[in-house]
Amino acid sequence: MTTISAALARVSQPDRLFIGGRWIDVAGSARLRPVNPATEQPLQDVAAAGPAEVDKAVSAARAAFDNGPWPRMSPAERAAGMRRLSAALARRGAAADACWLGQVGVPAWMASGASAGAAGLLDMYAAMAESYAFERVGPAQGIACDTAVVVKEAVGVVAAIAPWNGPLASLLVKLAPALAAGCTVILKPSPETPLEAFLLAEAAEEADLPPGVINLLPADREASDLLVRHPGVDKVAFTGSTVVGLHIAQVCAARMARYTMELGGKSAAIVLDDYDPAALGPALAPLITLLCGQVCINFSRVLVPRAKHDAYVESLAAAMKAVVVGDPEAAGTMMGPLAMARHRDKVFSYVEQGLAEGARLATGGVRPQALERGYFIEPTVFANATNAMAIAQEEIFGPVTAVIPYDSEEEAIAIANASDFGLSGGVFTHDTDRAYAVARRIRTGTFTQNGREFDLTNPFGGFKKSGIGREGGVEGLEAFCETKTVFLPRAPAILQG
């Protein structure tokens, strides 16, 4: 494993923003100041956009879409530019990995090389652009025309708004398909994790994409709201909380702007009666503690047969106790800190609420005694919870799960579906036919047998308040397209074989 350190989390242009193909000075003096959650020490601070920069970024993206070459290039030409961007980003891989470690506190083993996988989305969508049928000729039952050409065209100017837990990957899963479709993009990172977006902008400059195709707009929430409301933005692609997503949806609906959203989750792991209790803890603990539980697809509910409840809890609690919590840069650390002080306080407030509602704390729920600094919490398991409790209904976004007993498979399915969310889920059983039957009855966007897959070569997104639309796969490309039907007496020469 390559050694990485938060000290490498540096960008070359912290005082300026990349807009319209060049680095520009900002009008105000506002700064974004990310903090290392393991040390509580500041990292490199960067310029923050204000209203003037919002207008400049939208104007640059608008001009690049309306009058620039990018939407008018062939898909193969766009693919070539995307591959240059991927290569330029790969050359900043060590810094990008360090940014994730430094700003979010993910362990070094997880951060090392992570940017390469994220950059791979550019290569994946570049290849897809070259093979996707942006124009399809078919029959029409018209009066004057018997040919219809169905065209997929770029939706326009995209505001790509990323969360703080996976800053680079969340930006790229929006940027890559948007570029492949021919859109121009405004990158809006979270105020808590702006650094990766600066590295992306550096890579865009090196890749020599046309001016205005990629624009950098790190901003606080007030300026971000101006971006969402801006009439020059055709689509908002957002990942974040359901509360913010609902606000953005209302704003977009008021002006009929397009949007896709990947929002919160309260995913249930349904354990069927054939699954060995001793195997459950080792299988589930890594999924609950990944990124300190700050994952939208976290298994924050575990549904178990009532007759074996205590055995399942004992297995899970033992595995969670064995998770090594500590310095993300230290060898052997399995789980780092929560990302922010205010988020730490929120997670601990849910622990208190779970106890007040009558759930039994099987393990965790406190700060590790050996760690005097940093936003740490021990992996936490509640036993004998009910689905009506706040810890079972609200997204905690931490390494906290509630074990809920059930008396029948029908009841387990009902409990899993009794949620405002529907992002992910899983079933633990050795019977694949039984697993598939359960999967088809759960109202959720992704579902896995004996684990939790996250594969952006396939569509990802949620039901209910977990979002609208899909990211990943060909569906992710189509989310950045509008469909146009052109009726003609015959197919145009350019589309004739």
Distance CA 94, CA 112 (A): 8
Residue for token pair 């310029």:
47
Please list the active-site residues: 262
Q: At what angle do helices 75-90 and 114-131 cross, to 10 degrees?
A: 170
CA angle 327, 328, 334 (to 5 degrees): 95
Local structure of residue 444 (DSSP, 8 states): -
Distance CA 292, CA 298 (A): 10
Q: Which string of b and e fits 217-226 if b means at least 16 CB within 10 Å?
A: bbbeeebbbb
DSSP string across 356-401: HTT-EEEE--S--TT--SSS----EEEES--TTSHHHHS---SSEE
> Cα-flanking dihedrals φ and ψ of residue 41, to 5°?
-105, 145
Closest CA to 482 of 273, 199, 265, 256: 256
Phi and psi based region of residue 102 (left: phi greater than 0; alpha: psi -120 to 50; beta: remaining): alpha
Distance CA 413, CA 388 (A): 15
Strands 157-161 and 235-239: parallel
CA distances from 54 to 27, 156, 171, 227, 228 (A): 11, 17, 18, 6, 10
Alpha-helix residue ranges (DSSP H) falling in 39-157: 51-66, 75-90, 93-104, 108-111, 114-131
